[in-house]
């Protein structure tokens, strides 16, 4: 059926790639917002983004090759190439893109909140301790606690 459904498989792959690009954009916007809030991005989200990038490139290459499925100077279709493209398009759509789209639904949260470090001024090694400064420092540290 891959040969017979060759065109439908490629068209369905194009639709799924568009859906995957939309999902990628949504996740990307969430990641940018989380990074602006100084949050740490989850490793699963980063891995998902890398997987999506590679699959989109592979699918677009396959879609671009559909014009080159003719033989004998373009007069008759190359059935072997059409079969391979139809099969690969179906497998990418069903076994790779569909699970990636399902996995995207798990990304309500794309990041971990981070804790900010205490912003205490730490003295330099070359800092000279003066008695006049010591009393002010003691008052300040006791008042903060």
111 CB neighbour count, 10 Å cutoff = 18
As given in the structure block, the two tokens for residue 101 are 């789209």
E strand segments, 31-124: 40-41, 70-71, 76-77, 111-112
Q: What is the pLDDT of residues 39-80, one digit of tens each?
A: 899 999 999 999 999 999 999 998 888 766 666 556 677 777
Considering only residues 134 and 36, tell me which one the structure prediction assigns the higher pLDDT.
Answer: 36
Q: Read off the pLDDT of each residue in 75-93 and give the average, rounded to a whole number.
A: 82
Give the relative orientation of helices 43-64 and 6-36 as an angle to the nearest 10 degrees. 150
Residue 41's contacts (CB-CB under 8 Å, 6 or more residues apart) are 31, 34, 35, 110, 111
Whole-structure pTM value: 0.70
Considering only residues 52 and 122, tell me which one the structure prediction assigns the higher pLDDT.
Answer: 52
| Mean model confidence pLDDT for the chain | 81
């Amino acid at each position: 059926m891959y040969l017979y459904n060759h065109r439908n498989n490629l068209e369905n792959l194009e639709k799924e790639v568009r859906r995957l690009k939309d999902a990628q954009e949504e996740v990307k916007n969430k990641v940018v917002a989380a990074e602006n809030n100084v949050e740490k991005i989850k490793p699963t989200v980063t891995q998902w983004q890398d997987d999506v990038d590679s699959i989109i490139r592979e699918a677009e290459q396959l879609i671009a090759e559909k014009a080159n499925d003719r033989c004998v100077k373009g007069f008759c279709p190359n059935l072997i190439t059409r079969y391979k493209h139809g099969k690969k398009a179906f497998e990418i759509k069903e076994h790779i893109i569909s699970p990636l789209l399902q996995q995207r639904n798990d990304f309500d949260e794309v990041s971990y909140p981070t804790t900010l470090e205490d912003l205490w001024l730490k003295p330099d090694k070359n800092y000279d301790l003066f008695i006049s400064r010591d009393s002010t420092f003691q008052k300040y540290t006791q008042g903060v606690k």
